[in-house]
Structure 1
């Protein structure tokens, strides 16, 4: 075999054939065969090493080629200032493919150190470009958000002024609460969501998740700040809020309620949905939560700070309805806040702050309600209210209670939390008609048919009306004319009763309260008739002692009785035409009863003495009197001319 000049490959083949022949012969290997086997093994080892080195050199060259190609592709885009995704998603995806390939090559780590450093530099450049592209896509494709998705409670507004002086007659009672449901809308054009998600995935996979989150947070926070600014939600400190007058504060609370509901139930839901779409993969779930909380925390805390400031303000009755509205809204939105801000420690801090502000608003509402009761008791008048009409305090209190029924469940729960330590003993309402008929308000409460689910609120409402009645009794004493005292109490108790019967208050006070107070104002009407018309009609009774005409009236002649009646009637007419009963039905009832008293007595006396008295002393006919009585309680004082004749 050594006689031939063969190249290395041919020698290996010859040696291999020789060994095969020897092995097939079944004999032990000869010395030459063993040498050939050793030589073959050595040669094969050298061939394998050479081939392996060639393969490695080829693979490294291929990686360098690919690396140079993707780096060139990336850097070519870097030179061009045109935003890549403005050219379309296809151009953007090509850039992302190059970046992802570069990242894979770097992760392989099989290239030399110089090339690896270059690759890292290019990757960093690519990430900076993707930050700009991501920000550009988010900013240029954001959609405006308006408050068209939420409807709100009707306005409860008590104007600023001294307690009892402001009318609440124009309060719009009722609720326009919207259902507590989530509405997700598009905050960014849907067609760019996939591009944003692709960019985010590439940046997160490349280890640039923090930079991606920072860009997303910055852009989206600017959008939310812009929304708040557009809807005039100012960044106010607690001191700023505490310095506001009521009109300004009232306006800001209404804005707060409107914006808070819309932000939580629509905007935050939509923002979270957007973050989930951009960082939607399971491995990126933490990024989605972090981005959402970082984006909305500051604006949400701004709104909560306003709520805290309101809760720290003075406990003025006119604020109660607004504070209850804020508290009720906060309670309603609490489950949604818990869901939106679950998932990390940062969200937990928002939930904790939200609960604390809600607690403070509830405590403020309860304290303000109790202050409202105290304000009623302390309302003192130095002069009688003109005409004996419904006092502004009565108007204020009853309309206030009507408005509070819109918050029955909320107010009842707040009062129930503290009623175990509150002194709820209720003073009786003074009964000026018949002291023997005084009934304890507590007894009336215990026997009322009010719904058990509002026990705490019902008890407090009984207490408030009791305090109001006691105050009205004191105000009635300011009138010198006893009859006008009765008209004043008649007007005010009737007003209270009608307000209860014609509103949701009837379910709070119950039938027994209504019957009792109907009896009360009817008794006031009866007492008015007695105190006014008995003295006048005493002139028309032949056998009367004539208490209204002074001593000796028993001996008055018929003509003198006509004269006495005329004078007394004209005095009543002059005074009581200036008194006011604003309720038309009540006014007609009082006039009708007065007419029945006067006309019947006058006709009887006139029929008996008309032939014995000169016509010049008979100043009025029954028709005249009936017409004149229709002028009473119109609120405009009139006088009868002395020359008045039939």
Structure 2
């Protein structure tokens, strides 16, 4: 550059300030503004450079490089509204110009301070800043234009009915479908999705590398993180994730809360298991080489929805630890337990991350709540008392309640043993399984087996207590037989049966037969006493015995047609047992006395008696008072 006198310097300085004033006006075209920017660059350099300063030649070479790069960058800005949409050659030219400015800055910063070097350095930094602002805009444009849409369809649930009857209202035989265990068909799928079109990932990385190299890491990370933060917020809304206070959750009706919990499980699985896994892959592709930057951006982008989900879980835990909550809490626990590997992979380098800490704390608290409820379930069964006998000896709601809980435990056979093995087991003497060292078997499945069998033992004790309310001992045995049969059949024909074993089932079938025999004796023994004929009694006595038998049978018929045995096969077996007990003795009795007292005193034939016995235990009272006398 030619020498300039002081007068020329003042003229240039005046022109420079005039140009600065012109730049402030908004009434000019982009072409005129581009010309002023070039003039600004040249004048600012001329004002500040003095050829007498040291390293003048080197600085002038750097100046030429900066001027050339500035012109290239400005030209590309004017020529293309979006550089990264203009093809690889344009992108390469732009990146080379920016790289040249960066190298010039590094060289100038390595020189001794002088008015000459500072002037060029200031202009180089101005050029670089202008380029960085453009790169920010390019980044946002690429993200907006190439974002991939997630599959927003709400997941289809496979529904497993869990009938939760109220123990408190145990006189009501209704069954309410109070809870559904839903499994999303996609909950266990390992599927990472492309958050953005794969073809533009290298473009985003080139912008990241350029901005990081220029010292503009924060200027890249802020819009990049903010964009994905907004995307996740939008996706969370689609998954029905919303901020709810503890009071909001406490005020919810059970069905509404249960629905919320199901959506919470889906959102947890989709966001942590799928979305954030996909986000981490993208963030690592773009920022993985910059130490902790990638994970820091991922945490910042995801903290809002994640804390919202975790806070909801904490709010649910504040509710009462009632048995009716058990399966909802188990579902929540299983979702989190399944997601532990995903979460630990996402935040593997952030052991102190609040997200990770809160996640594991919620998982632990859910497990503890489940343990408390499992214990409370046994207490509730044991303390379920009645003041009146259950109508007609049928299946008590408590039996259905416990049996259905036990059956539903099969859906959690991987989780429950782990939660129960830390509990202090209650074993019966001689029932311990021993390992090779002589210690109790540590197999977690044993803990579940012991717990389940303890529930049935508590149930049996409660049923035995309830049976004492019956005045008629025959009905007492019908009641126990019905309830034992219901429990054993439910368990035997379910996936939970291995936790009870064949020996348990055999023992309970023995109990069933015992109650059937007790029923037979207490019901029909009194009738059989009337059918005794030793040949030494008179006709009047025989007639009286016939009359007493008829009256006793009619009373029995009236009461026991009202009694109920709901299971058709069990009912048939009991009737057959009754027929075998009564019909043959009645046949022999009638054969012996018919010639002596005449058929008119024999009210029922053996065939009629057999038919009437088949009317018993239907749950609908009938009467024989108007039967035809023979």
TM-score, length basis structure 2: 0.80
Match of 2:135 among 127, 130, 146: 130
Do 2:343 and 2:356's aligned partners in 1 also have CA atoms closer than 8 Å? Answer: yes
Residue of structure 1 in register with 2:510 after alignment: 519
Match of 1:218 among 218, 226, 233: 226
In structure 1, the gaps of 5 or more residues are: 1-51, 426-441, 546-552
Do 2:164 and 2:405's aligned partners in 1 also have CA atoms closer than 8 Å? Answer: no
Deviation at residue 513 of structure 1 after TM alignment: 2.3
Cα distance in 2, alignment partners of residues 459 and 380 from structure 1: 24
Deviation at residue 61 of structure 1 after TM alignment: 5.0
Cα distance in 1, alignment partners of residues 535 and 245 from structure 2: 77
Do 2:187 and 2:266's aligned partners in 1 also have CA atoms closer than 8 Å? Answer: no
| 3-state secondary structure, aligned to 2:626 | coil
Do 1:536 and 1:568's aligned partners in 2 also have CA atoms closer than 8 Å? Answer: yes
Structure 2 CA distance for partners of 1:516 and 1:176, relative to 1, 3 Å: farther
Matches within 5 A, 1:468-617: 468-543=459-534, 556-617=540-601
Deviation at residue 490 of structure 1 after TM alignment: 0.4
Structure 2 CA distance for partners of 1:535 and 1:486, relative to 1, 3 Å: same
Do 1:276 and 1:285's aligned partners in 2 also have CA atoms closer than 8 Å? Answer: no
Match of 1:183 among 174, 191, 207: 191
Q: Find out whether 1:235 has 2:243 as its counterpart.
A: yes
Deviates more, 1:489-498 or 1:529-538: 529-538
Q: Find out whether 1:418 has 2:423 as its counterpart.
A: yes
Deviates more, 1:74-83 or 1:520-529: 74-83
Deviation at residue 82 of structure 1 after TM alignment: 3.6
In structure 2, the gaps of 5 or more residues are: 1-50
Cα distance in 1, alignment partners of residues 201 and 237 from structure 2: 26
Deviation at residue 521 of structure 1 after TM alignment: 1.4
Structure 2 CA distance for partners of 1:598 and 1:271, relative to 1, 3 Å: same
Match of 1:620 among 586, 604, 607: 604
Residue of structure 1 in register with 2:102 after alignment: 103
State the superposition RMSD in angstroms. Answer: 3.6
Deviates more, 1:333-342 or 1:405-414: 405-414
Matches within 5 A, 1:41-56: none
Residue of structure 2 in register with 1:376 after alignment: 381
Matches within 5 A, 1:161-560: 161-163=166-168, 167=175, 182-280=190-288, 282=289, 284-344=290-350, 348-419=353-424, 424=426, 442-443=428-429, 445-446=431-432, 453=443, 454-543=445-534, 556-560=540-544
CA displacement 1:616-639 (0-9 Å, x = unmatched):
433322222222222222222222
Deviation at residue 525 of structure 1 after TM alignment: 0.8
Deviation at residue 279 of structure 1 after TM alignment: 1.9
| 3-state secondary structure, aligned to 1:540 | coil
Cα distance in 1, alignment partners of residues 61 and 373 from structure 2: 80
Do 1:479 and 1:485's aligned partners in 2 also have CA atoms closer than 8 Å? Answer: yes
Do 2:167 and 2:397's aligned partners in 1 also have CA atoms closer than 8 Å? Answer: no
Do 2:164 and 2:401's aligned partners in 1 also have CA atoms closer than 8 Å? Answer: no
Do 1:169 and 1:399's aligned partners in 2 also have CA atoms closer than 8 Å? Answer: no
Q: How many correspondences in the alignment?
A: 566
CA displacement 1:43-102 (0-9 Å, x = unmatched):
xxxxxxxxx99x987765554444234323433555679444344555444433332332
Instruction: Give the structure with higher Rg (CA).
Output: 1
Deviates more, 1:268-277 or 1:164-173: 164-173
Cα distance in 2, alignment partners of residues 161 and 89 from structure 1: 70
Cα distance in 2, alignment partners of residues 170 and 616 from structure 1: 60
Do 2:313 and 2:362's aligned partners in 1 also have CA atoms closer than 8 Å? Answer: yes
| 3-state secondary structure, aligned to 2:530 | helix
Deviation at residue 643 of structure 1 after TM alignment: 3.8
| 3-state secondary structure, aligned to 1:268 | helix
Deviation at residue 223 of structure 1 after TM alignment: 1.5
Cα distance in 1, alignment partners of residues 316 and 182 from structure 2: 24
CA displacement 1:387-410 (0-9 Å, x = unmatched):
211111111101211222333343
Structure 2 CA distance for partners of 1:161 and 1:515, relative to 1, 3 Å: closer
Structure 2 CA distance for partners of 1:495 and 1:177, relative to 1, 3 Å: farther
Cα distance in 1, alignment partners of residues 331 and 400 from structure 2: 22
Cα distance in 1, alignment partners of residues 187 and 254 from structure 2: 30
Cα distance in 2, alignment partners of residues 151 and 443 from structure 1: 48
Cα distance in 1, alignment partners of residues 540 and 354 from structure 2: 92
Deviation at residue 260 of structure 1 after TM alignment: 1.9
Cα distance in 2, alignment partners of residues 296 and 641 from structure 1: 79
Cα distance in 2, alignment partners of residues 554 and 290 from structure 1: 106
Structure 2 CA distance for partners of 1:339 and 1:74, relative to 1, 3 Å: same
Deviation at residue 269 of structure 1 after TM alignment: 1.4
Cα distance in 2, alignment partners of residues 500 and 83 from structure 1: 69
Cα distance in 2, alignment partners of residues 262 and 173 from structure 1: 18
Deviates more, 1:250-259 or 1:489-498: 250-259
Deviation at residue 368 of structure 1 after TM alignment: 0.8
CA displacement 1:436-493 (0-9 Å, x = unmatched):
xxxxxx2474489998623333333332222211111121122232211111000011
TM-score, length basis structure 1: 0.79
Do 2:77 and 2:83's aligned partners in 1 also have CA atoms closer than 8 Å? Answer: no
Cα distance in 1, alignment partners of residues 78 and 121 from structure 2: 22
